[in-house]
Amino acid sequence: MKRNLKKPLLYLIFSGIFSTATYAQTAKSNVIQDNKLPELLKLKSEMTVNNELADRYKIQLFYGQITEANKVQKDYNSSFSEWEPKIVYESPNYKVWVGNFRDRLDADRALLKIKEKFPSAFVMKPER
């Protein structure tokens, strides 16, 4: 007789526990979002498309005064067209960076070609 009571009792206990667990979280939440969030998400997606957020390697051709940086950039443009040069200001110098390479191997291959014209060039991975 005791055995017959154990099964219904266990069934009643488990069904009681699981039925309360299914109704435990019925609250609604209201999210208040800043108006700038969609604009920031759009900017992030544009930067992702342009590879501005990814960890990439660059080749640095020059650092120094802006007039010299412009000359180096012009000289580079007349010799190479494969990789886009970019002048970046990092206080107190201007730097001429070339390329946007996914891995070090691609950057080193490009460096071999660029070093023929710019012997002081080197591969770097800029910090964000």
Residue whose token pair is 């309360």: 20
User: Going by C-beta distance under 8 Å and a sequence separation of 6 or more, which residues neighbour residue 61?
Assistant: 72, 76, 85, 96, 97, 98, 114, 118, 120, 121
CA 123 to CA 13: how far, in whole Å?
68
CA dist list (Å): 8 to 5, 11, 13, 14, 18 = 6, 5, 9, 10, 15
Strand order in the sheet with 85-90: 85-90, 93-101, 57-64, 122-124
Question: Average pLDDT, whole number, for the chain?
Answer: 85
Residue 115 reports pLDDT greater than 70: yes
- Using an 8 Å Cβ cutoff, are 72 and 61 in contact? yes
CA 52 to chain centre: 7
Question: Which range (12-16, 70-74, 92-96, 118-122) has the least confidence?
Answer: 12-16
Where residue 2 falls among pLDDT bands split at 50, 70, 90?
low
Q: What are phi and psi of 62, to 5 degrees?
A: -160, 150
Taken in order of first residue, the domains within the chain and their CATH numbers are 49-124 (3.30.70.1070)
> Dihedral (C-alpha) 82, 88, 90, 93: value to the nearest 10 degrees?
90
Question: Looking at per-residue confidence, does 19 or 126 come out higher?
Answer: 126
Q: What are the tens digits of pLDDT across the range 33-85? A: 888 989 998 988 887 777 666 678 999 999 999 999 999 999 999 999 899 99
Q: Within 10 A of 76 (CB to CB), how many other CB atoms are there?
A: 21
